Amino acid sequence: MGAEGHMGTDPDPRIGRHTKLLELLLAQSETYHNHKETMAHAGVVLQIALVAGMVSVDHWPPPWVPEVHVSARLIIAVAFVALWLLIHVFVRWQLRNRRSAALTNAAFLRTLRKWATTPPTDDDLKPYQVGSSQKPRVRIFLDEYLIPLPSATLHYDVDKVGYPSGMVQEWIDQESNLGTRAVRAEWLLWIGSILILAIGLLRILYEASVRVA
């Protein structure tokens, strides 16, 4: 639908341009959201395949793991944790980006819905001027790589400065107050990732306990 369908017969050409920008951003954020979701699911499948392969091995540790100054079991445990952490960080990164896409998608959609019935004012169309404030880096780091923290500030590649103020206010409101239910899926996958880690470590320790017995 073009700008005229959204804004009726309002002659202000800025409205049409801003509406087209919103429609473009909405389409891009939706595509980005779906891509991040697919990549996160691929990472989860890789984690499951890793542990399933470990559980299905008859001889543990595998005979191709060399005996050196430390036990082969320790080598395989360190390698497993490192590989698990790599996949876990990858999944967290994808899910966090998915969350940011879900928030922006909802904000853009709310803005378009609002402007479809109530034409934006001059203040709504003015470029947003407030820059990004100082962000708590530790919380952002934990949220990006280790554990879902909905209260952590999301990082965007493009700053909000310069976008229409009315759209940015909806964007900020979506982040600060409304949020997104996408974080529930993040928690479920985080719990699943921790369980996969526990199962893998138990598989490594189980063989040792059987031999000692």
Instruction: Tell me the pLDDT tens digit for each residue of 104-128.
Output: 888 888 888 888 888 888 888 888 8
> Is the per-residue pLDDT at 207 higher than 70?
no
> Is the per-residue pLDDT at 6 higher than 60?
no
Where is pLDDT greater, at 194 or 139?
194
Residue 84: per-residue pLDDT: 93
Please provide the average confidence, as pLDDT, over all residues in the chain. 78
Where is pLDDT greater, at 176 or 197?
197
Give the highest mean pLDDT range of 23-37, 84-98, 121-135, 167-181.
84-98
Residue 200: domain span: 3-212
Q: Which of the residue ranges 32-41, 133-142, 184-193 would you say has the lowest mean pLDDT?
A: 133-142
> Is the per-residue pLDDT at 32 higher than 80?
no
Where is pLDDT greater, at 163 or 70?
163
> Is the per-residue pLDDT at 22 higher than 50?
yes
Q: Which of the residue ranges 40-44, 110-114, 157-161, 198-202 would you say has the lowest mean pLDDT?
A: 157-161
Residue 12: per-residue pLDDT: 65
Tell me what the mean pLDDT of segment 19-35 comes to.
76
Residue 141: per-residue pLDDT: 85
Tell me what the mean pLDDT of segment 16-23 comes to.
73
Tell me what the mean pLDDT of segment 28-41 comes to.
80
pLDDT tens-digit readout, 158-192: 677 778 888 888 888 888 777 788 888 889 999 99
Percent residues over pLDDT 70 in the chain: 77
Please state the three-class secondary structure of the chain as a single string: CCHHHHHCCCCCHHHHHHHHHHHHHHHHHHHHHHHHHHHHHHHHHHHHHHHHHHHHCCCCCCCCCCCCCCCHHHHHHHHHHHHHHHHHHHHHHHHHHHHHHHHHHHHHHHHHHHHHHCCCCHHHHCECCCCCCCCCHHHHHHHHHCCCCCCCCCCCCCCCCCCEHHHHHHHHHHHHHHCCCHHHHHHHHHHHHHHHHHHHHHHHHHHHHHHHC
Q: Structurally, how many domains does the chain consist of?
A: 1
